[in-house]
């Protein structure tokens, strides 16, 4: 049970794609910094919709003008980020 943390833009870096190939059903995915742009990425957006636990850091999305419309993506605060890192056994930064 791993929380996968992505911080690089999926348009420039492959880390989110690499992570999505390897993520387990029970794992969580957290998008921070420029990784929040995954929400406007057409093909990745549908892949994110298939995952059970997808989190987006609210401040980072708001700062970049990214609107999260999908129901299965949860916007979280920094405090909730800390809670998540405790809830999952491990945090993996890609």
Partner 1 sequence: MALALSNFAQDVSVFFIEDGVLQLLVPQNPTVIDAKAYYKTFAALEFYDIENIYVCKQSLLQRGIETSQLCIPVTLIEHEDLSKLLSKQQHVMSF
The one-character DSSP state at 33 is G
Strands of the 2-6 sheet, one edge to the other: 73-76, 53-57, 28-31, 2-6, 90-93
Q: Does 42 bind partner 1 (CB under 8 A)?
A: yes
Q: How far apart are the first and last CA of the chain?
A: 16
Distance CA 38, CA 34 (A): 8
Q: Does 80 bind partner 1 (CB under 8 A)?
A: no
Q: Does 63 bind partner 1 (CB under 8 A)?
A: yes
Look up tokens 């990745």; give the residue: 44
Which residue number, 23 or 57, has a Cβ lying nearer to partner 1? 57
> Which region, judged by CB under 8 A, interacts with partner 1, from 14-22, 46-54, 60-68, 83-91?
60-68
Q: Does 34 bind partner 1 (CB under 8 A)?
A: yes
Q: Does 41 bind partner 1 (CB under 8 A)?
A: yes
Contact set with partner 1 (CB under 8 A)? 9, 11-12, 34, 37, 40-42, 59-60, 62-65
């Amino acid at each position: 049970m791993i929380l996968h943390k992505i911080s690089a833009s999926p348009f420039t870096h492959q880390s989110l794609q690499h992570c999505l190939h390897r993520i387990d059903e029970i794992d969580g995915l957290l998008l921070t910094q420029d990784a929040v742009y995954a929400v406007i990425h057409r093909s990745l957006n549908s892949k994110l919709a298939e995952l059970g636990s997808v989190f987006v850091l609210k401040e980072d999305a708001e700062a970049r003008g990214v609107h999260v419309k999908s129901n299965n993506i949860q916007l979280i605060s920094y405090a909730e980020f800390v809670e998540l890192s405790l809830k999952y056994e491990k945090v993996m930064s890609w």
